[in-house]
C-alpha cells in the first residue's frame, strides 16, 4: 500500500485513477480546490481523504503536502483543455505556477514517484505521429503552458535525481468524461436512436480508453529497468524525467466513429455533416507514436475504440442517476 496524492481528481481521468488506486488498496488523498465540483467522486467519498488547497497558493500547497507526506503523486490538475477555459492568466497560473508549487512542496517532503500529466497538444499540429524527442510546437496558450510544465518537470527530475516522468495523453474517453465532449455526446444520442450535430467528417483523433490510460499511470510510478531499454539508445538518457506518449497509435476519423456507432447501435438516421462548426483545434491528423512507452514500460492500449465505446454505453445504462446528469448537462437551455 502506498500513500498517494492526486490533483485534478474531481476531473475525468483523475476520478478514474482514484477509483483504481482505491481498488488496489492504496491510501488515496485528493488535493481539491475550494468549491470544487464533486459529482465524479461522490460515490467514493468515504474512501478518500480530501484536502482543500488551491495549487496557485504556495503556502496552502506546502501545508497540505507536509501533512500528507505522499509517496506517490499523480498531478492531473489542469485548466484550458476545454473551449470555455480561455483565460490565459488562469491557464498559466494553474498549469505552470501550480505545477511548480506542487513539485517544490513534494521535493521538500520527498517521494518515490511523481507522475506529471502532459498533453498531446504540446506537439501542436503535425502531419505525422510525433516522437517524444521531437521539438514541441504548441499553438495555444494551453499547449504552451503544458509544454512549459513538462520541461520544468524534466529539468527537476534531471537536476535533483528524482523519478518524475510525464505522460502526454491523447484523446482519452470513458466513464465520467465531460458530458459535452464528442463521445459522451455520441453515446447519449445513440441511446435515443439518433445522431447529434456533427463537424467535418475527416476530423481525426487518437481515441484511447481511460482504463488503458490509468494502467499507464500505474506503470509510470515504477522506474524502468535500464537493461530492458537496451534496444532504445535514447531512452536511458531521458530518465528519470522521461516523457511518454499515451495513445493507441491509430487515429479514428469522425466519419469512422459515426459509422461504428450507427452499426453497433442500429441507428438509421443519416449523419448531417457540417451541422456544427469546426473548432479551431480540429485537424485531420492527430495520432500518437506509442513505441517508447511500449518498449520501456511495456504499455500498450488493449481496448479497441469499438470496445471502449460499448463500455461507455453500458456504463451510462448501468448508472441512471449519472445518465440523468449527462442528459441535463447537455440539454440546451429553453
In this prediction, residue 228 has a pLDDT band, given cuts at 50, 70 and 90, of low
pLDDT of residue 234: 42
The mean pLDDT value of the chain amounts to: 93
- Nearest 10 degrees: CA dihedral of 72, 301, 9, 165? 40
Please tell me the CATH code under which domain 176-205+252-285+304-330 is placed. Answer: 3.90.25
Please tell me the CATH code under which domain 3-170+209-246 is placed. Answer: 3.40.50.720
Query: By C-alpha distance, which of 251, 250, 245 is closest to 295?
Result: 245
Q: Which residue has the cell 488562469?
A: 90
In this prediction, residue 233 has a pLDDT band, given cuts at 50, 70 and 90, of very low
pLDDT of residue 84: 81
> Is the CB of residue 326 less than 8 Å from the CB of residue 316?
yes
> Is the CB of residue 258 less than 8 Å from the CB of residue 186?
yes
pLDDT of residue 227: 58
In this prediction, residue 282 has a pLDDT band, given cuts at 50, 70 and 90, of confident
233-237, long-range: CB < 8 A, 24+ apart = 234/133, 235/292, 235/295, 235/296
pLDDT of residue 235: 41
Task: Report the alpha-carbon distance of residue 173 to residue 259 in Å, rounded.
Answer: 18
pLDDT of residue 279: 66
| pTM of the entire predicted model | 0.94
pLDDT of residue 208: 98
pLDDT of residue 236: 40
Q: Is the pLDDT of residue 123 over 90?
A: yes
- Distance of alpha carbon 230 from its chain centroid, rounded? 29
Higher-confidence residue of 236 and 264: namely 264
Where exactly are the structural domains of the chain?
A: 3-170+209-246, 176-205+252-285+304-330
Which tens digit of pLDDT belongs to each residue from 135-181? Answer: 999 999 999 999 999 999 999 999 999 999 999 999 999 999 999 99
Amino acid at each position: 500500500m502506498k500513500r498517494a496524492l492526486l490533483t485534478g481528481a474531481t476531473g475525468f481521468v483523475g476520478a478514474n485513477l482514484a477509483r483504481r488506486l482505491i481498488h488496489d488498496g492504496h491510501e488515496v488523498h485528493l488535493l481539491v480546490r475550494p468549491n470544487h465540483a464533486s459529482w465524479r467522486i461522490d460515490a467514493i467519498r468515504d474512501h478518500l481523504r480530501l484536502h482543500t488547497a488551491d495549487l496557485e497558493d504556495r503556502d496552502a500547497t506546502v501545508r497540505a503536502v507536509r501533512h500528507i507526506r505522499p509517496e506517490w503523486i499523480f498531478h492531473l490538475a489542469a485548466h484550458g483543455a476545454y473551449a470555455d477555459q480561455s483565460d490565459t492568466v488562469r491557464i498559466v497560473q494553474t498549469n505552470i505556477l501550480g505545477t511548480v508549487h506542487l513539485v517544490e512542496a513534494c521535493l521538500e517532503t520527498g517521494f518515490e514517484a511523481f507522475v506529471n500529466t502532459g498533453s498531446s497538444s504540446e506537439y501542436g499540429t503535425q502531419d505525422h505521429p510525433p516522437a517524444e524527442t521531437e521539438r514541441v510546437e504548441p499553438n495555444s496558450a494551453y499547449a504552451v503552458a503544458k509544454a512549459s510544465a513538462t520541461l520544468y518537470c524534466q529539468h527537476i527530475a534531471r537536476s535533483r535525481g528524482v523519478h518524475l516522468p510525464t505522460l502526454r495523453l491523447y484523446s482519452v474517453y470513458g466513464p465520467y468524461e465531460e458530458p459535452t465532449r464528442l463521445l459522451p455526446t455520441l453515446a447519449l444520442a445513440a441511446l435515443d436512436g439518433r445522431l447529434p450535430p456533427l463537424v467535418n467528417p475527416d476530423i481525426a483523433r487518437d481515441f484511447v480508453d481511460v482504463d488503458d490510460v490509468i494502467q499507464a499511470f500505474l506503470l509510470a510510478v515504477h522506474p524502468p529497468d535500464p537493461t530492458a531499454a537496451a534496444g532504445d539508445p535514447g531512452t536511458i538518457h531521458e530518465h528519470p524525467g522521461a516523457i511518454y506518449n499515451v495513445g493507441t497509435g491509430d487515429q479514428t476519423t469522425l466519419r469512422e466513429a459515426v459509422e461504428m456507432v450507427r452499426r453497433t447501435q442500429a441507428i438509421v438516421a443519416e449523419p448531417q455533416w457540417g451541422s456544427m462548426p469546426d473548432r479551431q483545434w480540429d485537424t485531420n491528423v492527430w495520432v500518437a507514436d506509442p513505441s517508447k512507452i511500449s518498449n520501456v514500460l511495456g504499455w500498450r492500449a488493449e481496448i479497441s475504440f469499438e470496445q471502449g465505446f460499448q463500455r461507455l454505453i453500458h456504463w451510462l445504462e448501468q448508472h441512471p442517476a449519472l445518465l440523468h446528469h449527462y442528459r441535463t448537462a447537455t440539454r440546451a437551455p429553453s
